[in-house]
Amino acid sequence: MENAHLRLGLLEYVRMTEKTSTRIRLRVDRYMGEDRQAHLLSVFGNDADVGAITAAVHEKATFTLTFPDSETKEVTLGEHASCYKGAVTLPGRKHPVRHLVAVSEELHNNGTAGRILLLRYRRDEAWATLVSFLGLPADPAWADYVLQIVERKKRIEEIDGIGCEPVLISATTEEMMEWVGDGLRSQVLSFPVDKGPIVWPRCSLAQALEESAKG
């Protein structure tokens, strides 16, 4: 991807021992967070550095994150974060690049406590996610009506991101059901004519990440 390095962030971690101090720096291709609370962190580097960052995440360490525009923040994934490691083989490199994705407890349990974190906001994608996470009986055609209410009530907040345009939607199952009920009673919304399962649009994780990076 042309000029991809200009869209990367930088993660720094200083590991202190009694005798030495080691500074670890890794490139960040995806990040989602609120102030100091990191929710999603995707970094890549060599075995030793990725291993050290993984251990630091589990130790609830604080990192220095530099955004592509040079802004810096101190961030942490907090307690009970989950880590997923893999390897990426690149043409011309003898050894694969190690990749780490770290996820906060809240993102791992996304949708609880009336908070839904998304990589980006598109009405059709957001509605499908809300229906899935909140357990709503709903139809894809209802997206515009319900999300217009969500937007009007200012329930969508842009949060920090690298490689994506993340948002936080604040809404509970009960609120969503009330808004859907209002739409059905007023006949602005209607139940599907055909019986049987409702078919929702499909989007792979790879597609979602690629599209979110494009903005």
Q: pLDDT category, 19, cuts 50, 70, 90?
A: confident
Token pair listed for 171: 């809404």
- 101 and 135 co-located in one domain: no
- Do 138 and 99 lie in one domain? The reply is no
Judgement on whether residues 126 and 158 belong to the same structural domain of the protein? yes
What 68-75 contacts at long range (C-beta under 8 Å, 24+ apart), as own/partner pairs, is 68/6, 68/7, 68/8, 68/9, 68/162, 73/33, 73/35, 73/36, 73/160, 74/36, 75/33, 75/36, 75/37, 75/38, 75/41
pLDDT of residue 214: 58
Q: How confident is the model at residue 205 (pLDDT cuts 50, 70, 90)?
A: low
Where a domain ends, among 60, 83, 108?
108
pLDDT digits (tens, 9 = 90+) for 26-84: 999 999 999 999 999 999 999 999 999 999 999 999 999 999 999 999 999 999 999 99
Taking phi over 0 as left and psi of -120 to 50 as alpha, with beta for the rest, 151 belongs to alpha
SS3 105: helix
Tally of domains in the chain:
2
CB 133 within 8 A of CB 80: no
Residue-number span of the structural domain to which 39 is assigned: 4-108
Top pLDDT among 212 and 19 is at 19
Cα(21)–Cα(25) distance, integer angstroms:
13
Question: How many Å apart are CA 161 and CA 119, to the nearest integer?
Answer: 8
Q: Is 184 in the same domain as 123?
A: yes
Does 122 share its domain with 202?
Answer: yes
Beta-sheet pairing, 37-45 with 21-34: antiparallel
Residue entry with tokens 């604080």 = 62
Tell me the pLDDT tens digit for each residue of 105-124: 999 999 988 999 999 999 99
Domain-terminating residue out of 43, 74, 108: 108
- If asked whether residues 145 and 164 sit together in one domain, one would say yes
Query: Are 102 and 135 contained in the same domain?
Result: no
Q: How far apart are CA 82 and CA 38, in angstroms?
A: 12
Of 83, 67, 70, nearest in space to 33 by CA: 67
84 and 138 share one domain: no
Distance CA 215, CA 108 (A): 24
Last residue of a domain, one of 108, 130, 158: 108
